[in-house]
Amino acid sequence: MSEQCIFCKIISRETPSDILFEDDQLIVIRDINPQTPAHLLIVPKEHITGLDGLMPEQSPLMGHIMLMSKKIAKQAGLADSGWRLVINCGADAKQTVSHLHIHILGGRSMTGIMA
């Protein structure tokens, strides 16, 4: 845990947040600056700075996150219409918090082409 990290503070309940789901490995919260009608964040409880800080032994955690994203999208009512997962890594990708987090985006038709 990083004492300065906003996600670590949310996980420790030092900073309040709208936690929608929690298990022993992750929490799911609403993004405070939503880019789509449904914009949720999956945040691992372990402080990992980003994808570039991921270690091979954390593969089971990432698998768990991917499987949980499906469950969370379904609970959010996005399963039938479609949803997107986004992971930003580094400054040029606009990663604004140095704690790995995965965006679940949905609730409208996505614009633009992902290339």
Which runs of consecutive H residues, i.e. helices, occur in 1-103? Answer: 6-11, 59-75
Q: Domains (ranges, CATH) in the chain?
A: 6-106 (3.30.428.10)
* Each residue's pLDDT tens digit, 55-110: 999 999 999 999 999 999 999 999 999 999 999 998 888 889 999 999 999 999 98
- Whole-number Å distance between alpha carbons of 56 and 69: 20
- pTM for the full predicted model: 0.91
* Each residue's pLDDT tens digit, 23-32: 999 999 999 9
DSSP SS3 for 42: strand
Indicate which residues carry an active-site annotation: 101
∠ at Cα 29 (76, 11), nearest 5°? 145
Which residue matches tokens 């089971």? 60
- Whole-number Å distance between alpha carbons of 39 and 107: 8
